[in-house]
Structure 1
Amino acid sequence: MLGKVLHTLLLLAPLPVLAQPAAPTGSGTPPRLIIAISVDQFSADLFSEYRPYYTGGLKRLSGGAVFPRGYQSHAATETCPGHSTILTGSRPSRTGIIANSWIDQKAGRADKTIYCAEDESQAGSSSSNYVASPIHLRVPTLGERMKAANPATRNIAIAGKDRAAIMMGGAKADHIWWLSSKGYVSYPGIATPPLVARVNEIFQQRLAEPNAGFELPAQCAAKDFPVRVAPDRTVGTGRFERPAGRYDAFRASPEQDAMTLAFAAAAIEAMGLGKQPQTDIISIGLSATDVIGHAYGTEGTESCIQVDRLDRELGAFFGRLDQQGLDYVVVLTADHGGHDLPERHQQNAMPMEQRVDAALLPGALAKAVAARTGMEAKGLILGDGPSGDLYFNRGLTPGQRAKVEAATLALLRAHPQVEAVFTKAQLAATPSPSGPPESWSLIQEARASFDPERSGDLLLLLKPRITPITDPSHGSVATHGSPWDTDRRVPILFWRKGMRSFEQPLGVETVDIMPTLAALIGLPVPRSEIDGRCLDLIAGPEDSCAGR
């Protein structure tokens, strides 16, 4: 399928004459193009599970500098915070992106929930129907730093989700596009260039055709059994059959990433990225693995097919770039990991797996606290779900607030599914973490995604193997967002033609990616402005971080 879409899109721009072979990483010559790829919910476990079967793009990247134990080191392992770390070199405590959404009781609208990539000051914007914006990202991305140093740099971001494109491209990208039911869109008022119009035309043509589904690769056969998550719902045996016109089914399938990669390849060629004296950068957010993981879990045929197709599609994408003779460096990582649905875990040797108790939902918790304190339950405690940040009603007096906090802490700390609850004062008093991310304590992980302005009054962390979804009969059956390694660990893979392959199994952080890439192009980044460090990509005595 990718081959057909990719071939069609690339007819839009003529093939250039092949350039000379790319310089190896150790040559000291900066690459002409940086390609930063985030595969949403591509955990280190998922990468390792299928590693013996890669034949395409993931096999190529596995022959570069491989850090299989990368970390989204913070506790709030969600899409927006994770993407905010990849090209800023900064943890969410510095980027300000503490979650996909947070509560702002001072917001001048009825909806007090703020989506991470919205401008809530715009008339009519809400957390579910918003005006997209990068205003909440407090630090510059690599592309923004590159443009500040050399205005000729092109900084492009293309993704399946708006928050992926915005958090990787930053506030001053030349182009930011993300997928919607109408095709690829950008900020309000941005004109649609001819290339994007043509991409969207092809997208609509693809959407109008049904998809008979994908064949089951041999490595997926053992996963082909149904798992019942509700009386009328099973998952685990899907092939991504799609009726004509069903955007929701297109989005929750390998078709989504195929389209995004085809668009990115066409943009690189049509814009001549990597063919001028300066280094350009393109960020690519591949979102299908996440949508599939939520809808079907991470261990059925659906996820297995998706990883196989991702490998193939990345191979076709890199092959097209090779035909142009581009000198490019790739980094591939993920915004977070993921945890499979408890019903399948229970069948596969993990009977202790559970879904979260509905008593931990903010509304239920508010009623329980109100019963203990004699206060009104409505609006007493606000939150986005049965874990994460909890906010007390800002209209409480200091005495009332103290009573509510004490009652809430007592209830939560007595609950058998709760691992820890931290107060805002505890988190504010905790120093920013340092050292190997695999050795951090829970409060250090929480501190890495704490912002005194946006974080809640309490932070609720569930025990391992508790899925924070109470009802899987509709919507998501599995998720992420915990402080545990299933959600924190992600692969970090660097590749450039001619580089010597090596693997480093010790823990590194996604915030290390930006300074590593900056060193390759000779871009100075003050250490005081970031949390990450440069990773040496040259096996042996040479050092790609020398002087950094």
Structure 2
Amino acid sequence: MKKCYTLITFLLLFSACGSQNETILATEQTNTIETNSKPKLVIGIVVDQMRYDYLTRFESKYGEGGFKRMMREGFNCKNNHFNYIPTYTGPGHASVYTGTTPKYHGIISNNWYDKETKETVYCAGDENVKSIGTEDKAGKMSPHLMLTTTFSDENRLFTQMRGKTIGISLKDRGAILPAGHTANAAYWFHGKEEGTWITSSFYMNTLPNWVTDFNTAEVAKSYLKEWNTVYDISTYIESGTDDNNFERGFMGKDKAIFPYDLKTLSKDNNGFDILKATPYGNSLTTDFAIAAIEGEQLGMDEITDVLTVSYSSTDYVGHNFGVNSKEVEDTYIRLDKDIERFFKYLDETVGEGEYTVFLTADHGAVNVPAYLQSVKVPAGYLDYDSRKEKFQAFLKDTFGTTDIVEKVSNNQVFLSKSKLKELGLNLHNVEQALVDEQISYENIAKVYTATTMNSTNFTTGIEVLLQNGFNQKRSGDVIIIDDIAHIAYSKKGSTHGSGLNYDTHVPLLFLGNGIKQGETYNKTVIPDIAPTISALLGISFPNGSTGCVLGFVIK
């Protein structure tokens, strides 16, 4: 197992990465054509909430030019995992592109409690910038909370800012964090009554003409139509029944069953926002990515450009309908077609063999616990209200006040250092008292202190993932791990965030210029992606990178 966890153990990291690469090089069989030129364009694709088994479970429904092309012509890392907790969208996108974990890049969640301002902050929120393309505050975003560079930043620096970087996603964080600090632009979708692509003044003061033209063409409006299955629904045997008790669906429709009249339903589901929770949101993203390549002339010269594309609709659909739904299956069948369409466009414009693409996810998802219970698999739901009530009673009985706790956020307890000092309480003693109390609660599996995270070097188990996700300045004083397949969520739909296989095991596919053909079952981790692309391009690694170069992937 690799031990590439800290910046100060560079020699050990190099040795571990090197030995693994040699092992795989000796065992992998490849059939490739050598090339000496760098790719004109690097495309990073993140599929939001894509479990690895979606590649295999729906494989018979995929065409030959999308996922299957990547598996057939490129390199498939079949045992790829996140190596930290929590597995959320913000940390996931940051980790893919920075080559490190929240411990260093600082994006510890989508939202977290700021110990200095005493307020909850959003991973991409920035009150110091202005919205561009809308009057709504949805554009007040930037990457300023991310502490390290991305490989896209390093490519900009290496090329003296001549190589472009464009980030695209329905979600602001899915566009902003991958594109990094030096990006030419990041664009995200603003739904509601507008249905337009927007950005912020962090990047520019006005939208480029090609973005304005795209918005004016009302492409989003064209997708407010019926959503039915691509193929006869009776052939969707890879997923559960369409009519069941485990899916939320949309407001204005009694049952979560096909078909869905999106134009009619949009009136009760925040207008254009309904597209986010359908496969058409991915189609719209593909349309915009193609427009970006044309509008920015990406990949049209010998200086490498970077395009980051995050497909967000898969996450919205998964949250709404759950892992085992026919809606999820149809969404992936349609995404496969969009990716094939995208690749055909790249072949025709940038040129086949002139670009490099990787595809991964920002996290997986747990099956709906109510469904798991129905088939006798241990699972359940967390009662945070009763847990909070019990915890507050403990604080009053033990310390005479609840004020020693400032916030409970992301399964972390944040203590008030000023209140502890006022009461003459020792921080470490209080931390341990909270651990001893919380571990006695129902559905809590493990509890650790910040002191433990800072003083113990874990090498195995979920503790390693906790440590990789722990940022000393931003994380809490006590960290809680819930039972397996237990979530704080509605009993319909599903979520993610744990360090368990259903959340950590995600695809990692490489294709194109400089990439070998092959596959491996050797374990790889998300932070390996950025240094691998950096090595392929011959540029500096992201400045906080702790991942390994996957040398067996590169020609």
Structure 2 length-normalised TM:
0.82
Matched, 1:92 2:86: no
Aligned equivalent of 2:384, options 352, 358, 372: 358
Q: CA deviation at 1:468?
A: 2.3
CA contact (8 A) 1:120 1:130 kept: no
Structure 2 CA distance for aligned equivalents of residues 449 and 330 of structure 1: 27
Q: For residue 213 of structure 1, what is the aligned residue in structure 2?
A: 227
Matches within 5 A, 1:208-247: 210-215=224-229, 217=231, 219-221=235-237, 223-229=240-246, 237-244=257-264, 245=266, 246-247=271-272
CA contact (8 A) 1:90 1:511 kept: yes
Q: Match of 2:288, SS?
A: helix
- The 1:315/1:365 distance shift into structure 2, 3 A limit, reads farther
Matched, 1:113 2:113: no
- The 1:251/1:176 distance shift into structure 2, 3 A limit, reads same
Q: CA deviation at 1:229?
A: 4.8
Q: For residue 19 of structure 2, what is the aligned residue in structure 1?
A: none
Q: For residue 476 of structure 2, what is the aligned residue in structure 1?
A: 456
Post-superposition CA distance 1:473-500 (Å, at most 9, x none): 7xxx310001111111111000016955
Structure 2 CA distance for aligned equivalents of residues 301 and 31 of structure 1: 38
Q: Match of 1:178, SS?
A: strand
Matched, 1:311 2:336: yes
- The 1:236/1:381 distance shift into structure 2, 3 A limit, reads farther
- The 1:347/1:131 distance shift into structure 2, 3 A limit, reads same
CA contact (8 A) 1:36 1:284 kept: yes
Post-superposition CA distance 1:391-449 (Å, at most 9, x none): 1234322444657545532332112311111110001113375xxxxxx3121111111
Structure 1 CA distance for aligned equivalents of residues 331 and 485 of structure 2: 24
Q: For residue 8 of structure 1, what is the aligned residue in structure 2?
A: none
Q: Match of 1:278, SS?
A: coil
Post-superposition CA distance 1:170-211 (Å, at most 9, x none): 111011101111311111463111111122223x45437642
- The 1:92/1:498 distance shift into structure 2, 3 A limit, reads closer
CA contact (8 A) 1:369 1:404 kept: no
Q: CA deviation at 1:145?
A: 0.5
What amino acid does structure 1 have at the position aligned with 2:124? Answer: A
Q: Match of 1:396, SS?
A: helix
Q: CA deviation at 1:381?
A: 4.8
- The 1:366/1:395 distance shift into structure 2, 3 A limit, reads farther
What amino acid does structure 2 have at the position aligned with 1:99? Answer: S
Q: For residue 166 of structure 1, what is the aligned residue in structure 2?
A: 176
What amino acid does structure 2 have at the position aligned with 1:523? Answer: I
Post-superposition CA distance 1:21-53 (Å, at most 9, x none): xxx763222111100000011111223322333
Structure 1 CA distance for aligned equivalents of residues 247 and 289 of structure 2: 39
Instruction: Tell me the number of residue pairs that the alignment of Structure 1 and Structure 2 aligns.
Output: 495
CA contact (8 A) 1:432 1:448 kept: no
Q: CA deviation at 1:131?
A: 2.8
Q: CA deviation at 1:166?
A: 1.2
Matched, 1:101 2:118: no
Aligned equivalent of 2:461, options 430, 437, 441: 441
Q: CA deviation at 1:117?
A: 1.0
Q: Identity of counterpart residues, as a percentage?
A: 25
CA contact (8 A) 1:239 1:301 kept: no
List gaps (5 residues or longer) in structure 2: 1-31, 132-136
CA RMSD of aligned residues (A): 2.8
- The 1:230/1:137 distance shift into structure 2, 3 A limit, reads closer
Structure 2 CA distance for aligned equivalents of residues 257 and 487 of structure 1: 21
CA contact (8 A) 2:100 2:545 kept: yes
Structure 2 CA distance for aligned equivalents of residues 105 and 143 of structure 1: 30
Matched, 1:329 2:365: no
Structure 1 length-normalised TM:
0.83
- The 1:79/1:230 distance shift into structure 2, 3 A limit, reads closer
What amino acid does structure 1 have at the position aligned with 2:277? Answer: A
Post-superposition CA distance 1:356-415 (Å, at most 9, x none): 123466x43542333432534468351235xx3221234322444657545532332112
Aligned equivalent of 1:49, options 30, 42, 57: 57
What amino acid does structure 1 have at the position aligned with 2:227? Answer: G
- The 1:97/1:343 distance shift into structure 2, 3 A limit, reads same
Matches within 5 A, 1:384-395: 384=409, 388-395=411-418
Matched, 1:416 2:442: yes
Aligned equivalent of 1:156, options 163, 166, 182: 166
CA contact (8 A) 1:366 1:381 kept: no
Q: CA deviation at 1:97?
A: 0.9
Aligned equivalent of 1:287, options 304, 312, 315: 312
Structure 2 CA distance for aligned equivalents of residues 537 and 250 of structure 1: 39
CA contact (8 A) 2:356 2:514 kept: no
- The 1:100/1:325 distance shift into structure 2, 3 A limit, reads closer
Post-superposition CA distance 1:111-153 (Å, at most 9, x none): 71011112366799xxx97831211111111111111111210
Q: Match of 1:421, SS?
A: strand
Structure 2 CA distance for aligned equivalents of residues 365 and 158 of structure 1: 44
Matched, 1:396 2:432: no
What amino acid does structure 1 have at the position aligned with 2:308? Answer: S
- The 1:70/1:360 distance shift into structure 2, 3 A limit, reads farther
Q: Match of 1:295, SS?
A: helix
Q: CA deviation at 1:277?
A: 1.5
Q: CA deviation at 1:348?
A: 3.4
Range moving further from structure 2, 509-518 or 366-375? 366-375
List gaps (5 residues or longer) in structure 1: 1-23, 434-439
CA contact (8 A) 2:35 2:514 kept: no
Matches within 5 A, 1:291-302: 291-302=316-327
- The 1:499/1:142 distance shift into structure 2, 3 A limit, reads closer
Structure 2 CA distance for aligned equivalents of residues 54 and 123 of structure 1: 42
Q: Match of 2:262, SS?
A: coil
Structure 2 CA distance for aligned equivalents of residues 357 and 258 of structure 1: 38
- The 1:122/1:262 distance shift into structure 2, 3 A limit, reads closer
Q: For residue 201 of structure 1, what is the aligned residue in structure 2?
A: 216
- The 1:236/1:304 distance shift into structure 2, 3 A limit, reads farther
